Amino acid sequence: MDGRAQDDISPEELERQLALYEPFTQAVRELVDATIRTTVDDHEIRAAQAEIEATTARLRAQQIDGPLGAHVGHGKRRQPWGNTVVGVRNPVAPPVHVEATGGEREGEVRTEFHLGAAYEGPPGLVHGGVSSLILDQMLGQAAGAGGKPGMTATLQLTYRRPTPLGPLRAEAWIERSEEHKTWARGHIVGPEGVTVEAEGLFILPRWAREALARRKADERAVPPYFE
Amino acid sequence: MDGRAQDDISPEELERQLALYEPFTQAVRELVDATIRTTVDDHEIRAAQAEIEATTARLRAQQIDGPLGAHVGHGKRRQPWGNTVVGVRNPVAPPVHVEATGGEREGEVRTEFHLGAAYEGPPGLVHGGVSSLILDQMLGQAAGAGGKPGMTATLQLTYRRPTPLGPLRAEAWIERSEEHKTWARGHIVGPEGVTVEAEGLFILPRWAREALARRKADERAVPPYFE
């Protein structure tokens, strides 16, 4: 694998890369959690830091310039692996695995996920901005799942009750759409019910509409980073 | 350091802990970036994963139960070190360093920060939800800086133009307040001007008002996780 875009990798190669990168990235998520929660002594912290710096140097021996999205992960069969919320190669992503529900509402998607120490705001609670981060992604994916993708233009969040860290779920769907504008809604659900509600307007920008028009003949009509 | 709350550590001990944890956490942030961008071969990825798992085990040999906020980091002289946006012990936090501007607007705060590969949505751009995450924190800190803290009740985001990854700044301030409700506004500024605007309502919940009333005599009136 080098730094060039990989538009045409085979399904087998995609599987191979997932089997390699998913457990690797998950190991870094575990390290992030341990970094926050550890109470080992100063000597151990310094030793761990040296180990981490050595591992980073090993990984940086060969790397792409800049972020992942502009290079790889957006081919015909690829997911946005660098994405902050859903990216399987991004340790900051919980990651949220979004699936279509097949429900009655247009573009309806859902996810179950777990938020630990890395996503904390007030003690024991999910940071209010993390809820908005996940809902922005969910509403955008609902728009994409309904074939009406766009970038966030406006987003309104209403916080009904605190969201506790731990197991959570979220849902989103298309409310209505009009040409290249899509209005979507969704919410996060905790153990005691809905915690945060969101509604947003998603607009497909001109450059993306033009890109879509150019590749109309392609079997894939929607740029994958809008899904 | 153990898992108990540390309400009364000395300024010297605070400095010692910062000097220990800041470079340690920054090393993990670098590893997160390298994890996303590396193109080393499969053998190297597996070797790095084994190293990371060993370091994690070393750190987990002694750790707090659950997230950081409920245990430490909220004493009289402490910052919310586990916070997803500003936490100096949280590798997911960029971190954003918020400072009071001393400007004319009530509670005015600002920050300069850098977002790399870990915060990507569309290729080369900041995830729209990351902008909302940072603005939620900034508006909340403006409310706290003005002595009128609260938890997010509503948040409205308007995306004016794409936010490029790289150096950015943000500002927030109090628009008005009324008893335990505070309305705040703010924005993120990129190389070409304002990219995202936010306005939000922050409410100090009943349990926090009661806690404040109980510790009125204390020199510190505002629970630090509201700042």
Tell me the shortest Cα–Cα distance from A180 to chain B, in angstroms: 16
B76 pLDDT more than 70: no
Q: Give yes or no for residue A189 having a pLDDT over 90.
A: yes
- CA-only gyration radius of chain A, Å: 19
Residue A9 has pLDDT above 80, yes or no: no
What pLDDT, in 10s, does the model give residues B114-166? 999 999 999 899 999 999 999 999 999 999 999 998 999 999 999 999 999 99
CB atoms within 10 A of CB A161: 12
Parallel, antiparallel or unpaired: strands B151-159 and B166-178: unpaired
Whether residue A150 has pLDDT greater than 50 = yes
Strand partners, B100: B109
Contact B56 A30 (CB under 8 A): yes
Tokens encoding A77: 């069969």
Closest CA to B75 of B20, B17, B25, B133: B17
- Identify the closest residue of chain B to A4 by CA–CA distance: B39
Instruction: Please report the ipTM that was assigned to this predicted complex.
Output: 0.91
- Would you place residue B78 in the very low, low, confident or very high pLDDT band (cuts 50, 70, 90)? low
Strand partners, A156: A199, B156
Mean pLDDT on A29-53: 98
pLDDT higher at B206 or A155: A155
Q: Which of B26, B31, B60 is the best substitution to test chain A (most A C-beta atoms within 10 A)?
A: B31
Mean pLDDT of chain A: 89
pLDDT at residue B3, as a whole number: 43
Give me the pLDDT at residue B1, please.
42
- For B46, other C-beta atoms within 10 Å of its C-beta total 13
Average pLDDT over residues B177-184: 95
pLDDT, position A215: 67
CA–CA dist B182, B198 (Å, integer): 14
How sure is the predictor about B227, in pLDDT bands with cuts at 50, 70 and 90?
very low
Over residues A122-147, the pLDDT tens digits come to 989 999 999 999 999 999 999 999 99
Question: In A, which residues are within 8 Å of B35 by CB distance?
Answer: 24-25, 28, 59, 89-91
Residue with tokens 């080098």: A2
Give the tens place of pLDDT for each residue, B154-178: 999 999 999 999 999 999 999 999 9
* d(CA B32, nearest CA chain A) in Å: 6
Segment B61-82 shows an average pLDDT of 74
E strands in chain A: 99-100, 109-115, 151-159, 166-178, 181-190, 193-203
What's the mean pLDDT in A2-7? 49
Alpha-carbon distances of B6 from A77, B2, B3, B216, rounded to whole Å:
50, 9, 9, 20
Q: Which of A37, A89, A152 sits opposite B128 (nearest CB)?
A: A152
Cα distance between residue A118 and residue B81, in whole Å: 11
Whether residue A156 and residue B151 make contact (CB cut-off 8 A), yes or no, is no
Please answer yes or no on whether B37 and A116 come within 8 Å at the CB atom: no
Burial class (CB in 10 A: 0-12, 13-18, 19+), A158: middle
**Cα nearest neighbour of B116 on chain A:** A67
Contacts of A204 in chain B (CB under 8 A): none
3-state class (DSSP) for residue A6: coil
Q: What is the mean pLDDT of residues B200-216?
A: 82
Q: How far apart are the CA of B224 and the nearest CA of chain A, in angstroms?
A: 9
CA distance A78 to chain B (A): 13
pTM of the predicted protein model: 0.91
Q: Which of A32, A62, A82 sits opposite B120 (nearest CB)?
A: A82
pLDDT band at B207 (very low <50, low <70, confident <90, very high): confident
E strand or H helix at A24, and its extent?
helix A11-37
pLDDT at B119: 98
User: Which pairing describes strands B99-100 and A193-203: parallel, antiparallel, or unpaired?
Assistant: unpaired
Q: Which residues of B touch A124 (CB under 8 A)?
A: 66-67, 69-70
Collapsing DSSP to helix, strand or coil, A46 comes out as helix
The CA-based angle B214-B216-B221, given to 5 degrees, is 110
Residue B154: closest C-alpha in chain A: A158
State yes or no: pLDDT of B220 exceeds 90. no
pLDDT digits (tens, 9 = 90+) for A68-105: 886 654 455 556 899 999 999 999 999 999 999 988 99
What proportion of chain A, given as a percentage, has pLDDT over 70?
86
Does the structure show a pLDDT above 80 at A3?
Answer: no
- The pLDDT confidence band at residue B226, using thresholds 50, 70 and 90, is very low
Give the nearest partner residue to A35 out of B59, B125, B155, using CB atoms.
Answer: B59
DSSP assignment of chain B, as one string? --SS--TT--HHHHHHHHHHHHHHHHHHHHHHHHHHHB---HHHHHHHHHHHHHHHHHHHTSB-SS-STTTSS-STT---TT-TTT-TT-TTS-----EE---SSTT-EEEEEEE-GGGBSSTTBB-HHHHHHHHHHHHHHHHHHTT---EEEEEEEEE-S--BSEEEEEEEEEEEEETTEEEEEEEEEETTEEEEEEEEEEE--HHHHHHHHHTTTSS--S-GGG-
In this prediction, residues B56-73 reach a mean pLDDT of: 85
Cβ–Cβ pairs < 8 A, chains A and B: 324
Q: A84 vs chain B: nearest CA distance in angstroms?
A: 5
The pLDDT, as a whole number, for residue A40 is: 98
A90/B56 touch (CB, cutoff 8 Å), yes or no: no
Beta-carbon separation of B40 and A62 below 8 A: yes
Kindly tell me if the per-residue pLDDT of A222 is higher than 60: no
* Interval A57-65 mean pLDDT: 96
Interface test with chain B among A16, A132, A199, by most B beta carbons within 10 Å: A132
Contact between B188 and B163 under an 8 Å Cβ cutoff? The reply is: yes
